[in-house]
Structure formats: C-alpha cells, structure tokens
Chains A and B, each alone.
Chain A
Amino acid sequence: MRAKRDLFPPLFVARYERIINDFDDFISAMLTPLPKVFRINTIKALPDKVLPLLKDFKPQQLPYNPVAYVVKDGMGLGRRLEHFLGLIYIQEAASMVPPLVLAPQPGETVLDIAAAPGSKTTQMSAMMNNRGLIIANDLSYQRIRGLVGNVDRMGCLNVVICRGDGIILAKKLSNSCDRVLVDAPCSSEGTIRKSKEALERWSFRGIENFSRVQKGLIVAGYQALKPGGKMVYSTCTIAPEENEAVVTYLLSRFPEAEILPIELAHLKMRPAIREWEGKGYPSVIESCRRIFPQDNDTEVFFIALIRKPDNAPS
C-alpha cells in the first residue's frame, strides 16, 4: 500500500488521509480504471428501444439513475452508431449526480453557469423534456465548441449558449432563475481515475486560485436565483478549500441561504467535513455531500444543494 501512496504527491496524501478514514481503499480505487457509463438520451429514444441494440455490451442499470447504464468493457462504445445518433451519451456516473440533485422541471428557467462541454446541460435538457430554458454559459471559446456539438447531437431545443464571464451573466439574470447549476471549474483531483493529468499539475496554489473563482461563481449563481429557487454547487475535487469553504463563504454573504439535505436512493454519499486546517464550518455544511470512488466505483464529487428563501432580500 505504501507503494500506491507513493504515486501521489506527499502533500496530497498528507492532506487527504486526514479526512478520508478509509484512505488506503480510496487510493486503491483511484488507481483503478473507471468503468464506462452511458445514459440514454430520452429526448430521442427510451431505454427499451436503445438497450436491445447495445446488448453486446451487457449494460447494467445504475441503481440510483434509471436512464444510466454501466458496461464492463466499453471499448468501441463511443464509435457506435447509437452514440453518433445521440441516442446515448457517455458520461461518468458521479457527474450525473448534480443534475439529479438539482432536479430541473419542464418549463423552468435554468442557468448552467460553467456548462462546457455540456454533459450536465444535455442531461438537464432531457430531464426537462426539452421544454423551458437552459442558459448554458462558458468562458472558453474552445470548450464551447464541444458544448455546441453536444447540444446539437443530443437535440436540445431548450438551450441557449452564451460565452462570457459567468459572474457578469448571472448579474444580468438577477432573481430570475428557478434553478442554477454551478458545476465549478476546479483542481479536478477527483478525475485522476480518468486521467493522470490532474495529478501531474496538482499544486496547493492551484487550489487557492480555483477557490477564489468558485467563491465568485457561487455568489453570482445565488444572486441569479428567484426567491424560492434552488442551486447546486458541485466540484469534482476533494480540497475543502474548493468545497466546504466555498459554501461557507456563500453563507457569510447571504446568511439566509438554506443548505438542504441531499438524498439519492442507492447512492452512498458521505457528509461534508466540519473542520479543516483549524477552521470550523457551520453545522449546516454537514448537509452537503461527498462522493468517493471506493463507495460507488465512480469519480470524486462534492455537492451542495442550496435554496434561496421565499422572503430573501433582493
């Protein structure tokens, strides 16, 4: 096990063995390749029409997501006609959880503040039965090309694509959105199973920089919510500076914001931490959830569900 730990930066190990009690299981899971998961694009077809075409892959339904399936050997899945035709979307299992928690409804107005390449945008579009409005924004023109391609391929008629600073856009949308997804840019520590790149460029300075950006985005996202609206803040990283600390910052700016409990049947999630590097977080932060690879064979995710009260000051 020591040899496995040595594959990670010493500071990474020193930081996270303090908050992950089964750290050796975590390390082992992080070094195991990710299973391939796809979801059926219900805008175009229902599972009973698509699954028979993919029976060679022996897809198994994820217990917490009725339209998502895991395959043992996903080699060639991305080159299948079903993929090109937009009948399926290959997406990491934990990355499907933030939209499931946000639960956008048909006809609503949803802001996806950092949307590219569009996995969650297209998932929400399907959840909304292709009705209402999703404002899908991203800063990077390069990444937006992927977003446009995915919106086209999945047939999303309820999406507008914007390019710009999410904070400026959210200000223009002040008090107008039923739901907001802040799937924030992050240090991506949790994606190591998919690509070692995140590990290679891992640094504490990076975490600090992302934390600053995330605080701006979570505040902007909250301001875009209608009273009574809900927001999900999520990252695919472990660093508390990018997770619990960011939600705590929101509460310091908007003490009326409500942190709601998160439940998703058959998905094991752990409560957020209450203390880090000598700083305590408010007890409500414990309602936020962490997803670890050793629990559900996924990537890492952090998810907070936040509600703007009906009587929130505008």
Chain B
Amino acid sequence: MHPVDFLSRRFGFSAEWLRDLKIQEDQGTIFVGTPEVMKFREAKPLRRGIRLCRIFPASIKPTTFAMQIFGRLATRSRIEVSEEQARVLINGGEIEVGATIENGYVIVFWREFVVGVGLYKKPILKSCIPMFRPLD
C-alpha cells in the first residue's frame, strides 16, 4: 500500500486531503509541498516543503509537523488530551489514556489544535513529538 493511502486509511482522511499539493520521496522520507516547490529545479535545495512521513520496513510514521497541518482533517485515530498531558508529551514523555482505538500511530489534540503524533499501545500513549526545548 502506498504510504499516502496508508495514512488516509489510518486517519480517515478524505480522498482530497492533499488536493493542490504534491509529494516527493527522498531516501525513505516523503515530503509534501506546493506543486511549485516540487517543480523547483534552478538549484538543489536542502529541503522541499515539510516531511509528511517516514517509511520504515514495518510501518509508516507520520510526522508531527505535517499532522499539525493535516491532522484536523482526521476522522479516526484521534486522541484528545489536557494541557498538562500535552506538556508531558511535548517533553518526550508518555501518558496513560483510556482510548478505545486501535493500537498504532494517533493524532493528539489539545482543544481543536494538533499537538503532534503519538504511538498508542493500550493504555499507554507515547510521544513521537520532536523535542526542541523543555516546556514548563
């Protein structure tokens, strides 16, 4: 299954979730950006758009930054957390949640905003959010 189809199925994205955008694979990572970004040939860029997901032999791992854009379109595999729980996850921790969803990657919401991606193995939700700085 193509990684984009996998993500669509996992998160219940509609068929048009990447409408007007292009994807490109580079060394096991799929990037997403505007058509102009993917067409750019005048120089060799370090980056085009943002990382959508990484392809591993046994899994497809969506990125936090892409899901912060597209995650609000998800109809499945969503977990809502409190501000305190969000802070734990952002600092690389894990929390116990009682969600009745399938194990695997989930999109973590705080209010209506996407915090990032987590890995859920009932009942533990583990952070997959890149750590940049500790949050109080």
Contact = CB atoms under 8 A, between A and B. Distances in A.
A158 B42 contact: no
Nearest to B50: A152
A103 interface: no
Interface string A78-115: 01010011110000000000000000000101000000
Interface stretch (A27-35, A42-50, A244-252): A42-50
Contacts of A160: 33, 37, 40, 45, 47-49
Nearest to B83: A81
Contacts, number: 100
A81 B87 contact: yes
A144 interface: yes
Given A81-B86, A85-B113, A44 B68 contact: yes
Nearest to A163: B46
Contact of B34 (A84, A133, A148): A133
A15 B76 CA distance: 64
**Chain A interface residue bracket vs B:** 35 or more
Interface in B57-93: 65, 68-69, 83, 86-87, 90
Contacts of B136: 76, 79
A132 B36 contact: yes
Q: Which of A43, A85, A87, A148 has the most CB of B within 10 A?
A: A85
A143 to B, nearest CB: 12
A161 interface: yes
Given A86-B68, A135-B40, A161 B135 contact: no
A173 interface: yes
**Chain B interface residue bracket vs A:** 35 or more
Contact of B37 (A53, A86, A157, A172): A157
Given A158-B36, A162-B46, A169-B43, A85 B115 contact: yes
14 contacts: A44-B68, A79-B135, A132-B36, A135-B42, A135-B43, A157-B50, A158-B34, A159-B37, A161-B46, A163-B46, A164-B43, A169-B42, A169-B43, A176-B42
Given A87-B113, A153-B65, 15 more contacts: A43-B69, A49-B112, A81-B83, A81-B110, A81-B115, A84-B90, A85-B115, A131-B20, A135-B45, A156-B49, A157-B21, A158-B49, A159-B33, A160-B47, A164-B43
